[in-house]
Amino acid sequence: MNCNAAQDRFAEVLDGRLDGAATAEVRAHLASCPDCQREFSALAQTLAELDTLPTPPPGPALRQRFYAMLEEEKNSAASVAAAAARHHRRSRVAFWRWVLAPIAAAALAFGGFYAGARFAPPAPAGLDAATKQELAELRARVDSVGQLVGISLLQQRSTSERLQSVLATLDQKNPDQKVISDLIGSLALDPSTNVRLSALDALYPHANQPIVRSGVLATLPREQNPLVQVAMIDFLVAARDRAAVPELQRLSRSENINQAVRDAAQRGLAQL
Amino acid sequence: MVNSAPAAVDATPDTPSDHELMLAVRDGDLDALGELFERHHGPLFGFLVKLTGQRTAAEDIAQTVFQRMLKYRHTYRDDGSFTAWMYHLGRRCAADHFRRHQAAPAATDPSVLQERADDAPHAADRATVRDDHALLHRALSRLDRDDREVLLLSRFQELSFAEIATILECSAGAAKVRAHRALRQLRDLYFQLQKENLS
């Protein structure tokens, strides 16, 4: 390797981007050439200076100006329009789900009925007691499926719509069991804290019904939000539900639960 | 390669990559740009302050870069490299800045030359180091802007020559040749200034 070829590769050697064999060739030339040694060490010194050049940090104003600009852009007409368009697309999807889900459910039910009518053996003229019980169980199961469909439909609407449907039940003096079950379903399944809290409020007038108390109690261990947990504890204590004692004991002892929830559970235990 | 820039963040289950964040910004999640700002404004500012030799100008240009990211977010490509795009915008914004301030000579801002006290254990050493840094700053400011750019990109920002080529809109081979030529020129200027200082 001559001096020109070696010097052409000095920068790459110093970069560390040249492969091992080529680097070894350059180093071999360097070992025997004082001129190239001077050239190489001058480049190395310049690079070392460049690498130790301090980088001052930016002042705080840069961050403030950036976030001010970001806020402005988020509030600008174009961004708001884009966000609205995204929401519109989402709600269109939700709408079709809302329309198609009941149709699909009805088609399934009809298909089942048709298959049953066509292929099942004809029923004997007189139904015995066992058959009657089976039919009753089947009816109950279909009812609970209907309820689940109702709750899932409830969840496909927006938070404010779900809130309104929960609040609407407050006006009903004697709501039927379906309304009560929907409220317990909302309390157990709704993703919005506000809807769950409203559902609990709507259940207060019916706290005398065992199904309401046991529904709230069954939902309590799954609830994660401390606000709703405390509200549920207050509900069960107000309803004087002694069945809640073991769950309240568990909550008051649990280490990884919010302090406010543990305090509420302890207060509740004292009152029960 | 020594550099002061953090490596581009790779995606893990908890932290999205720079590229994923920028795609989210493009799709309308503007808050994702906040995370990108936090990750990259320091190195970008470092690049710009060395390029311009002026703190205030570097801050103004960095601000403009993030402004343009927002404005031109729709042009960010699916196969893009976020850092390459950022320095590409940085280079353009700096060029605009230089065009606007062409009449005014670019003086080195003394605050750029400040050092952290704990870097230098001895007063005499500290003076020497500061002198060397001041000399290097002067040498850098005498380089052509294109040469300064390619040198800073290849030395400080942990970019491959392929990425630098994207930023400079040339081939990777050409980017490499330019970086090495710039280094040799910087060395000549630096040693020339040292000689002038001694005489």
**pLDDT digits 0-9 by tens, A252-267:** 888 888 888 898 899 8
For residue B58, is it within any domain?
yes
Tell me the shortest Cα–Cα distance from A164 to chain B, in angstroms.
Answer: 30
* B10 and B164 Cβ atoms separated by less than 8 Å: no
Inter-chain residue contact A50 with B186, CB threshold 8 Å: yes
Regarding whether B130 and B82 lie in a shared domain, the answer is: no
**A residues 24-43 lying closer than 8 A (beta carbon) to B:** 42-43
Tell me the shortest Cα–Cα distance from B63 to chain A, in angstroms.
Answer: 6
Q: Could you tell me the pTM of the whole model?
A: 0.54
For residue B30, is it within any domain?
yes
Regarding whether B127 and B88 lie in a shared domain, the answer is: no
Regarding whether B194 and B146 lie in a shared domain, the answer is: yes
Question: Looking at residue A123, what is its pLDDT?
Answer: 52
Contact residues, chain B, for A63 at CB < 8 Å: 37, 41
SS3 B36: helix
Identify the band that residue A193 occupies on the pLDDT scale cut at 50, 70 and 90. Answer: confident
- For A17-43, letters b (16+ CB in 10 Å) and e give ebeeeeeebbeebbeebeebeebbebb
* B140 and B186 Cβ atoms separated by less than 8 Å: yes
Q: Is A68 on the interface with B (CB under 8 A)?
A: no
Residue of A nearest to B66 (CA): A66
DSSP string, A88-123: HHHHHHHHHHHHHHHHHHHHHHHHHHHHHHHHSPPP
Helix axes A77-119, A60-75, angle to 10 degrees: 60
Owning domain of residue B127: 122-199
For residue B27, is it within any domain?
yes
Tell me the shortest Cα–Cα distance from B80 to chain A, in angstroms.
Answer: 22
Regarding whether B128 and B92 lie in a shared domain, the answer is: no
Regarding whether B20 and B76 lie in a shared domain, the answer is: yes
Tell me the shortest Cα–Cα distance from A46 to chain B, in angstroms.
Answer: 6
The interface predicted TM-score of the complex, written ipTM, equals 0.80
pLDDT of A160 higher than 50: yes
* Separation between Cα atoms, residue B199 and residue B193, nearest integer Å: 10
Sole residue written with tokens 């309390």: A187
Contact residues, chain A, for B62 at CB < 8 Å: 58, 62
Contact residues, chain B, for A87 at CB < 8 Å: none
Regarding whether B197 and B136 lie in a shared domain, the answer is: yes
Q: Render pLDDT for B133-147 as a digit per residue (tens, 0 to 9).
A: 888 888 998 999 889
For residue B3, is it within any domain?
no
Identify the band that residue B119 occupies on the pLDDT scale cut at 50, 70 and 90. Answer: very low
Lowest mean pLDDT, pick from A70-79, A114-123, A227-236, B60-69: A114-123
Regarding whether B127 and B90 lie in a shared domain, the answer is: no
Inter-chain residue contact B179 with A11, CB threshold 8 Å: yes
How many domains does chain B contain in total? Answer: 2
* Separation between Cα atoms, residue B24 and residue B8, nearest integer Å: 17
Inter-chain residue contact A46 with B116, CB threshold 8 Å: no
Inter-chain residue contact B55 with A67, CB threshold 8 Å: no
Question: Looking at residue B121, what is its pLDDT?
Answer: 47
For residue B170, is it within any domain?
yes
Q: Is A78 on the interface with B (CB under 8 A)?
A: no
pLDDT of A77 higher than 80: no
Q: Which residues have a Cβ under 8 Å from the Cβ of B107 and sit 6 or more positions away?
A: B53, B54
Choose among A195, A202, A101: nearest CA to A152. A101
Of the three residues B70, B103, B136, the one that is the final residue of a domain is B103
CATH number, residue B31: 1.10.1740.10
Regarding whether B78 and B143 lie in a shared domain, the answer is: no
Tell me the shortest Cα–Cα distance from B165 to chain A, in angstroms.
Answer: 16
The C-alpha torsion from B90 through A54 and B160 to A12, rounded to 10°, is 130
Regarding whether B64 and B33 lie in a shared domain, the answer is: yes
Tell me the shortest Cα–Cα distance from B190 to chain A, in angstroms.
Answer: 7
Share of chain B above pLDDT 90, in %: 47
DSSP string, B9-57: PPP-SSS--HHHHHHHHHTT-TTHHHHHHHHHHHHHHHHHHHHHS-HHH
Identify which of B4, B129, B183 has the shortest CB distance to residue A47.
B183
CATH number, residue B184: 1.10.10.10
Best interface-test mutation with B: which of A55, A71, A79, A80 has the largest number of B CBs within 10 A? A55
For residue B97, is it within any domain?
yes
Lowest mean pLDDT, pick from A37-41, A87-91, A205-209: A87-91
Regarding whether B168 and B90 lie in a shared domain, the answer is: no
* Separation between Cα atoms, residue A76 and residue A82, nearest integer Å: 10
Regarding whether B135 and B95 lie in a shared domain, the answer is: no
Of the three residues B72, B103, B134, the one that is the final residue of a domain is B103
How long a stretch of residues is chain A? Answer: 272
For residue B111, is it within any domain?
no
Give the tokens for residue A263. Answer: 């305090």
| Mean pLDDT across chain B | 82
Regarding whether B94 and B21 lie in a shared domain, the answer is: yes
Inter-chain residue contact B183 with A62, CB threshold 8 Å: no
Identify the band that residue B1 occupies on the pLDDT scale cut at 50, 70 and 90. Answer: very low
Q: C-alpha A266: how far from its chain's center?
A: 30
For residue B114, is it within any domain?
no
* B33 and B66 Cβ atoms separated by less than 8 Å: yes
Span between the terminal Cα atoms of chain A, in Å: 94
